[in-house]
Amino acid sequence: MLIEIKDLRKTYAMGDNLVKALQGVSLKIGAGEFVAIMGPSGSGKSTLMHVLGLLDTPDSGSYKLLGEEVSKLSENKLAELRRSTIGFVFQQFNLLTRTSALENVALPLIYGHSSARAADPRQLLEQVGLGSRLDHKPNELSGGQQQRVAIARSLVHNPHILFADEPTGNLDSKSQGEIMHIFKTLNEQGITIVLVTHEVEIAEYAKRVIKMRDGAVVSDIEKPSNKSVSRSIAVPENHALRGSAGPDKFSFRDSLSEFFQHFKQAWRSLAANKVRTGLSMLGILIGVGSVIAMLALGTGAKESLEKQLSSMGSNLLAVRPGSSRSGGVALQSGDVTRFTMEDARQMRSDIPNVVRTSPSVSGRGQIVFGNKNWNTQVQGTSPDYAPMRASVPDLGRFFSETENTQRSRVAVVGRTIVREVFNGKSPIGEMIKINKVNFQVIGVLPEKGANTFRDQDDLVIVPVETAMKRLFGKEYVDNIDVEVVDQQSMESVQEQIKQLVIRSHRLPPSQQDSFQIRNMADIQSALSETSKTMTWLLGSIAFVSLMVGGIGIMNIMLVSVTERTREIGLRKAVGATQNDILSQFLIEAVVVSVAGGVCGIVLGCGISFVLSSVAGWTTAVSAQSVLVSVLFSLAVGVGFGLWPARKAAALHPIDALRYE
* Interactions with ligand ADP, residue window 44-103 (CB under 6 A): 44-47
* 12 lies in the binding site for ligand ADP (CB under 6 A): yes
Following DSSP, what letter does each residue of 565-608 receive, concatenated? HHHHHHHHHTT--HHHHHHHHHHHHHHHHHHHHHHHHHHHHHHH
Q: Do 394 and 415 contact (CB within 8 A), yes or no?
A: no
Q: Smaller CB distance to ligand ADP: residue 220 or 513?
A: 220
Residues numbered 164 to 203 that lie near ligand ADP (CB under 6 A) are none
Q: Helix, strand, or coil here: 316? A: strand
CB of 91 to ligand ADP, least distance (A): 10
Q: How far apart are CA 107 and CA 576, in angstroms?
A: 10
When the beta carbons of 45 and 83 are compared against ligand ADP, the nearer one is: 45
What is the rounded CA–CA span in Å between residue 26 and residue 220?
Answer: 11
Which residue type, as a one-letter code, is found at position 30?
G
Q: Cβ of residue 215: shortest distance to ligand ADP, in angstroms? A: 7
- CB nearer ligand ADP, residue 19 or residue 245: 19
Backbone phi, psi, residue 482, to 5°: -120, 125
CB of 227 to ligand ADP, least distance (A): 27
Task: Tell me whether residue 41 or residue 251 sits nearer to ligand ADP (CB atom).
Answer: 41
Per-residue b or e along 543-557, where b marks 16 or more CB atoms closer than 10 Å to that residue's CB: eebbeebbebbbebb
**Under rule CB under 6 A, how many of the chain's residues touch ligand ADP?**
12
Q: Which is nearer to ligand ADP, 643 or 659 (CB)?
A: 659
Which residues 6+ apart lie within 8 Å of 203 measured at CB? 36, 38, 197, 209
CB nearer ligand ADP, residue 38 or residue 66? 38
Q: How far apart are CA 189 and CA 243, in angstroms?
A: 23
Q: Which residues pair with 363 in a beta bridge?
A: 378
In angstroms, give the least distance from the CB of 204 to ligand ADP.
19
| DSSP-derived pairing of the beta strands 192-196 and 161-165 | parallel
- Minimum gap (Å) between residue 16 Cβ and ligand ADP: 13
Q: How far is the CB of 167 from ligand ADP (least distance, A)?
A: 13
What is the signed CA dihedral for 138, 144, 149, 150, rounded to 10 degrees?
A: 100
- Which range in 14-22, 296-304, 311-319, 423-431 contacts ligand ADP by CB under 6 A? 14-22
Based on CB atoms, which residue is closest to ligand ADP, 23 or 353?
Answer: 23
For residue 333, what are the contacts with CB-CB under 8 A and spacing of at least 6? none
> At 73, which amino acid appears?
L
Give the residue from 344, 356, 469, 459 showing the smallest Cα distance to 405.
Answer: 469
Least distance (Å) from ligand ADP to the CB of residue 233?
A: 28
Residue with Cβ nearer ligand ADP (12 or 260) = 12
Helix residue spans in 327-374 (DSSP H):
341-350
Residues 382 and 373: their CA atoms lie apart, in Å, by: 26
What minimum distance in Å lies between the beta carbon of 572 and ligand ADP?
16
Tell me if 544 contacts ligand ADP by CB under 6 A: no
The footprint of ligand ADP on residues 16-55 (CB under 6 A) is: 19, 21, 39, 41-47
Q: Cβ of residue 39: shortest distance to ligand ADP, in angstroms?
A: 6
To the nearest whole angstrom, how small is the minimum distance from the Cβ of residue 171 to ligand ADP? 17
**Minimum CB distance to ligand ADP smaller for 168 or for 290:** 168
In angstroms, the CA 625 to CA 296 distance is 8
Q: Which stretch binds ligand ADP (CB under 6 A): 12-20, 131-139, 364-372, 591-599?
A: 12-20
Among the listed ranges 11-19, 116-124, 153-161, 587-595, the one in contact with ligand ADP (CB under 6 A) is 11-19
From residue 281 to residue 310, the character string flagging contacts with ligand ADP as x (rule: CB under 6 A) and all else as - is ------------------------------
In this complex, which beta carbon is closest to ligand ADP, that of residue 15 or of residue 509? 15
Binding residues for ligand ADP, rule: CB under 6 A, are 12, 14, 19, 21, 39, 41-47
